[in-house]
């Protein structure tokens, strides 16, 4: 059944895309988007740039591009900016990250050099392996938030933007579960004034963004926007938030295969995943406290997909292990191995081995672009708080309170496309009547 289309403000003017953290992922995203808008390269992996959406029945043969269906900001209207704790401009940082080749970076060198990071907010206890030098020196955490807010306002003004969106591409912070200070806006603001140690760097960025009406997506596993105080603030200020931890490499594979095993009622006794990674992210994750944040988001997916309690005989004894080893010679070229011990008819055992030689930031960059454009769309459509329809992009999707997250990639894709149809008042595709995923 068709509903009325939602009222969506047009994508007029320039959009500031602000990244806290301009490392491998951040600069690969910027460089690629700059190349794409000059037709110097193809934005492979981006649904907002390449994806289509089916409307009506399959026989209607209506499949517009997503970017022609919903009013997204154009790449040519994007202005890039961000913060980092090192002062390299985006060209230097991209070279240092070593993801894209110099022959590509040199095509857009001048433009990349104009993106100079603003000074970061950095209390080193949350990322122990880095020693930032380009950092703010305000006295309290409340002052830090105010300084970030001033950065946002100045950036928007100086670059003639009509609005902004933020995607956290900063390092993974140590694992800190929410405490009493995260209970409400009031307790959090008191905590900022008192320099409460439970308030991390990422949480100061998200607080500043939301107070400036800037939607915030969290690409790392730390709790930047999933604690009660920040969710209350997002609702109060009518700002869209989403997270957490970009779903790339191994988890992308896992959330595609696990639903297959479950759909066919095949059993699993073990799933061992290990990775070697040599970039700065790998170095940060070498610290056990930062790895703990990653482990939590990586381990959760199978529990939710397999529904152990419902299928005890198939998944009740599953042993699931995840390892990441910092191995500098590989740089950003991550290598992942999965060993899956499964069983079939009459309990007969089988094995599956996967060896994924991926490029971490090449997989993450299109996600940054899509999140920036979809979060801006959500904001203009008046959709505040947690944007669960963007679960497709996250390892550990945030949900409304008391709901469990949906990890199955194809359910996530259906949910995302149906949300776009719903925004435009188009009929939802439910796959009844012999219809399949488009
Ligand atoms: N496929 C992927 O690459 C992938 C997938 C999922 C999640 N992530 C997450 O995305 C994030 C970025 O990954 P990356 O490979 O670009 O890492 P990176 O180390 O290359 O970049 C992170 C950048 O953040 C900066 N930084 C750290 N703390 C900061 C702060 N408080 N303020 C401003 N800048 C700060 C660092 O100086 C660095 O330049 C990491 O948290 C990573 O875990 C990456």
pLDDT(293) > 80: no
| Cα–Cα dist 112/107, whole Å | 10
Contacts of 44 (CB under 8 A, 6+ apart): 50, 366
Tell me how far the alpha carbon of residue 203 lies from the centroid of ligand 1, in angstroms. Answer: 15
Q: How far apart are CA 130 and CA 54, in angstroms?
A: 46
Instruction: Tell the residue nearest (CA) to atom 6 of ligand 1.
Output: 246
| Domain boundaries of the chain, sorted by first residue | 14-246+362-423, 250-359
Give the position, in ligand 1's atom list, of the atom nearest the Cα of 20.
Answer: 33
For residue 260, is pLDDT > 90?
yes
Residue identifier of the C-alpha nearest atom 42 of ligand 1: 220
What residue has token string 């399959």? 58
Q: How far is CA 438 from the centre of its chain?
A: 24
- Residues present in the chain in total: 438
Atom of ligand 1 nearest to the CA of 361: 3
Cα–ligand 1 centroid distance for 279 (angstroms):
10
Q: pLDDT band for 71, please (50, 70, 90 cuts).
A: very high
* CA 91 – CA 111 distance, rounded (Å): 8
Are 14-246+362-423 and 250-359 in the same CATH fold?
Answer: no
| Residue among 127, 281, 335 to mutate when testing ligand 1 (max atoms within 8 A of CB) | 281
User: How many angstroms is it from 121 CA to the middle of ligand 1?
Assistant: 14
Distance 263 CA to ligand 1 centre (A): 35
First-residue to last-residue Cα distance in the chain: 19
Is residue 430 predicted with pLDDT exceeding 90? no
Mean pLDDT of 57-77: 94
Q: How far is ligand 1, taken at its centre, from the CA of residue 351, in Å?
A: 34
Average pLDDT of the residues of the chain: 93
Q: What is the pLDDT of residue 332?
A: 81
Q: Which of 169, 255, 283 for mutating ligand 1's site (highest number of atoms within 8 Å of CB)? A: 169
Query: Who wins on pLDDT, 222 or 208?
Result: 208
Strands 216-218 and 240-243: parallel
Torsion of CA 280, 285, 286, 292, to 10 degrees: 170
User: Range with the lowest mean pLDDT among 14-28, 396-410, 421-435?
Assistant: 421-435
Query: Is residue 294 predicted with pLDDT exceeding 80?
Result: no
Task: Tell me, letter by letter, the H, E, C secondary structure of the chain.
Answer: CCCCCCCCCCCCCEEEEEEECCCHHHHHHHHHHHHHHCCCCCCCCCHHHHCECCECCHHHCECCEHHHHCCCCCHHHEEEEEEECCCCCHHHHHHHHCCCCHHHHHHHHHHHHCCCCEEECCCHHHCCCCCCCCECCCCCHHHHHHHHHHHHHHHHHHCCEEEEEEEECCCCCCCCCCCHHHCCHHHHHHHHHCCCCCCCHHHHHHHHHHHCCCCEEECCCCCCCCCHHHHHHHHHCCCEEEECCECCHHHHHHHHHHHHHHHCCCEEEEEEEEEEECCHHHHHHCCHHHHHHHHHHHHHHHHHHHCCCCCHHHHCCCEEEEEEEECHHHCCEEEEEEEEEEECHHHCEEEEEEEEEEEHHHHHHHHHHHHHHHHHHHHHCCCCEECHHHHHHECCCCCCCCCCCCCCHHHHHHHHHHHHHHHCCCCCCCCCCCCCCC
Mean pLDDT of all residues in 175-198: 95
Q: Which two tokens stand for residue 90?
A: 């985006």
- CATH number for the domain running over 14-246+362-423: 3.40.50.720
Give the number of the atom of ligand 1 that is nearest the alpha carbon of residue 395. 6
Share of the chain above pLDDT 90, in %: 76
- Give the pLDDT band (50/70/90) at residue 433: low
Return d(Cα 115, Cα 117) in angstroms, integer: 6
In this model, does residue 166 exceed pLDDT 90? yes
Q: Which of 29, 145, 170, 206 to mutate to test the pocket of ligand 1 (most atoms within 8 A of CB)?
A: 170
Atom of ligand 1 nearest to the CA of 86: 37
Q: How many angstroms does the Cα of residue 161 sit away from the middle of ligand 1?
A: 25
Ligand 1: lining residues by beta carbon, under 6 Å: 20-26, 83-86, 97, 120-122, 127, 130, 169-172, 201, 219-220, 245-246, 248-249, 279-281, 284, 360-361, 363-364
Which pLDDT band holds residue 438 (cuts at 50, 70, 90)?
A: very low
Q: How does pLDDT run across 36-54, given as a tens digit for each residue? A: 999 999 999 999 999 999 9
Average pLDDT rounded to a whole number, residues 156-177: 95
**155: confidence class by pLDDT, cuts 50, 70, 90:** very high
As a whole number of angstroms, the distance between CA 65 and CA 87 comes to 39
Using the predicted structure, report yes or no on whether residue 286 has a pLDDT greater than 90: no
CA-nearest residue, atom 1 of ligand 1: 360
What tens digit of pLDDT does each residue of 85-144 get? 999 999 999 999 999 999 999 999 999 999 999 999 999 888 888 888 999 999 999 999
Mean pLDDT of 207-227: 95
Q: Is the Cβ–Cβ distance between 382 and 238 less than 8 Å?
A: yes
Strand 333-343 with 267-277, pairing: antiparallel
How would residue 432 be classed by pLDDT, with cut points 50, 70 and 90?
A: low
- Rounded to the nearest angstrom, the distance between the alpha carbon of 24 and the centre of ligand 1 is 7
In this structure, whether the domain defined by 250-359 belongs to CATH 3.30.360.10 is answered with yes
Question: According to the 3-state scheme, what is the secondary structure of 101-167?
Answer: CHHHHHHHHHHHHCCCCEEECCCHHHCCCCCCCCECCCCCHHHHHHHHHHHHHHHHHHCCEEEEEEE
pLDDT tops 90 at residue 250: no
Give the pLDDT score at 130.
85
- Distance from the alpha carbon of residue 82 to the mean position of ligand 1, in angstroms: 12
pLDDT value of position 169: 97
pLDDT tens string 365-411: 999 999 999 999 999 999 999 999 999 999 999 988 778 888 889 99
Distance in Å, CA 291 to ligand 1 centroid = 13
């Amino acid at each position: 059944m068709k509903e009325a289309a939602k009222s969506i403000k047009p994508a007029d003017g320039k959009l500031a895309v602000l990244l806290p953290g301009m490392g491998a992922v951040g600069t690969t995203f910027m460089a690629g988007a700059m190349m794409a808008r000059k037709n110097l390269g193809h934005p492979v992996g981006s649904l907002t740039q390449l994806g289509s959406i089916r409307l009506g029945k399959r026989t209607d043969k209506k499949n517009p591009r997503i970017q022609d269906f919903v009013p997204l900001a154009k790449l040519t209207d994007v202005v890039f900016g961000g913060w980092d704790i090192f002062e390299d401009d985006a060209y230097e940082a991209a070279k240092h990250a070593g993801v894209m080749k110099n022959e590509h970076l040199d095509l857009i060198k001048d433009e990349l050099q104009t993106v100079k990071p603003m000074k970061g907010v950095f209390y080193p206890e949350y990322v122990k392996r880095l020693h930032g030098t380009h950092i703010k020196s305000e006295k309290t955490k409340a002052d830090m938030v105010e300084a970030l807010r001033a950065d946002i306002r100045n950036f928007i003004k100086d670059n003639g933007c009509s609005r902004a969106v933020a995607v956290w591409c900063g390092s993974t912070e140590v694992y800190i579960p929410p405490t009493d200070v995260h209970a409400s806006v009031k307790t959090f603001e008191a905590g900022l004034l008192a320099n409460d140690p439970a308030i991390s760097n990422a949480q100061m960025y998200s607080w500043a963004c939301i107070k400036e009406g800037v939607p915030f997506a969290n690409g790392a596993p730390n709790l930047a926007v999933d604690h009660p105080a920040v969710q209350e603030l997002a609702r109060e200020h009518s700002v869209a938030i989403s997270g957490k931890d970009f779903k790339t490499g191994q988890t992308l594979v896992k959330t595609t295969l696990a639903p297959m095993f479950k759909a066919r009622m095949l059993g699993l006794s073990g799933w061992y995943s290990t990775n070697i990674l040599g970039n700065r992210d790998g170095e940060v994750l070498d610290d056990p406290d930062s790895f703990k944040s990653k482990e939590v988001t990586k381990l959760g997916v199978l529990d939710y997909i397999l529904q152990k309690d419902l299928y005890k005989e198939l998944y009740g004894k599953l042993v699931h292990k995840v390892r990441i080893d910092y191995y500098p010679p590989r740089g950003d070229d991550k290598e992942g191995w999965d060993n899956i011990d499964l069983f079939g008819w009459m309990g007969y055992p089988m094995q599956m081995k996967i060896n994924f030689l991926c490029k971490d930031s090449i997989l993450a960059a299109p996600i940054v672009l899509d999140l920036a454009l979809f979060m801006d769309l959500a904001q203009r459509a008046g959709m505040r708080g947690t944007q669960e329809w963007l679960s497709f992009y996250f390892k550990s999707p945030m949900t409304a309170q008391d709901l469990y997250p949906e990890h199955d990639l194809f359910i996530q894709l259906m949910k995302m496309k149906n949300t776009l149809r719903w925004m435009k008042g188009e009929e939802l595709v439910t796959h009844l009547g012999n219809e399949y995923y488009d």
